[in-house]
Amino acid sequence: MAVGFPRQGAVPYLFLLLVLLVFHVRSLGNGFHYDDEHSLLKNPHVRSLEALPSFFTDARTFSENPTYAMYRPLVVVTYAFNYALSGYTARGYLAFNLAIHCLATLLVFHLLGQLSFARFPALAGALLFGLHPARLRWSIISAAAPNPWPGFSAYRPFRLICIRWTHRPAGYGSPCPFWPSPWGC
């Protein structure tokens, strides 16, 4: 049984994509900034897809400078794939960031629908997420690409909580005994 409104069609999803593209397409002309130099432009590890396994075992692959070592394997994987596709063309990295940002915004919209919000509040919440200035770091900094990855990994468990909560028996409050409902139900 479907929950919320997602079964009603693709129109709101397409609308969100259109709005995001209209507002963010100009950012594709930006260049590299901030941490891009040490973590991407001077990082020899991202220049070969053969190094992919080492991204998951060696934190030093994050940067050309070993003192900046961080265990962020998905970041380095995205750098390597972006490098394989577009070399050091900033537009390719920013287009990937835009695609990830659009996907994250669509997931926010979908989750708000799972919470049985009406279409307009869910759309407004997703637009706030997708257009809020605090979320726009990705559009100017290539190093910001992987920030949504933790959210994507939390999507499925959160969706299951939403389904359980929206199908709870009358009088059942929180979807989880350790997580009080924000609406006080």
Phi/psi of residue 179, nearest 5 degrees: -125, 100
**Domain assignment of residue 81, yes or no:** yes
Angle, helices 11-24/90-114, rounded to nearest 10 degrees: 140
pLDDT at 180 over 50: no
**Domain assignment of residue 173, yes or no:** no
pLDDT at 183 over 50: no
The strand pairing partners of 179, in sequence order, are 176
**Domain assignment of residue 127, yes or no:** yes
pLDDT in tens, 103-154: 888 988 888 887 766 788 889 888 988 887 666 655 555 555 545 555 555 5
Q: Per the confidence metrics, is the pTM higher than 0.85?
A: no
| pLDDT for 176 | 45
pLDDT in tens, 72-90: 888 888 888 988 998 888 8
**Domain assignment of residue 53, yes or no:** yes
CB 150 within 8 A of CB 39: no
**Domain assignment of residue 100, yes or no:** yes
Expressed as residue numbers, the domain containing 32 is: 8-163
**Domain assignment of residue 179, yes or no:** no
Which residue in this structure is represented by tokens 């869910």? 122
**Domain assignment of residue 21, yes or no:** yes
Domain count, the chain: 1
Count of other CB atoms within 10 angstroms of residue 59: 16
